[in-house]
Amino acid sequence: VVREANGKVPVYAGTGAPTTREAIRTTQMAAAAGAAEVSVITPYLISPNADELYDYYAAIAKASKIPVLLYNNTSVTSVNLPPDTVAALSAHPNIVGLKDSSGDMAFARAAAGDQRHLAGFDLRTPHELVLRAEGDDVGMRGHETVQAFGQHVVDVVDEFFHGYSFK
């Protein structure tokens, strides 16, 4: 993907793993491949508490040579990234924002801070834009949306940033 993009657009690589060690390894692989940033999903197959989530992301961010985007996707991992943990992690200089695919608007409102925020749940993109999301980062689960309505998704984001008001 990095080779195909050929510097025309930044490539965000999705990384993460059940263990911190493996998540660091996949993040370093993404950096070595030329990714501009990594979107690191919460650990899966385990049930970490808020302190463990903080430690997981802080260790990955410290070991990464490229910026880290926190990724909350409870439907995939069954792990919810608490808004106060997001706020605490936002102080780390290598953590640059949050991608939220939870579809939970209460979470999106609570987690919307000063960092970048990307919508990851297509049906909520307009709502998350209002909450200061910078755009829609559609992953593999959203590829059907892109294939069927790709230009419409682009149009929604473009219209929002050019003054259109969702009513």
Catalytic residues: 71, 99
DSSP code of 136? E
Helices (H), the chain: 2-5, 20-33, 50-63, 74-77, 83-89, 105-111, 125-130, 143-161
CB of 43 closer than 8 Å to CB of 74 = no
Pairing relationship of beta strands 68-72 and 37-41 according to DSSP bridges = parallel
For 66, half-sphere exposure in the C-beta direction (CA atoms, 13 angstrom radius) is 23
CB of 96 closer than 8 Å to CB of 90 = no
Torsion of CA 79, 82, 83, 86, to 10 degrees: -80
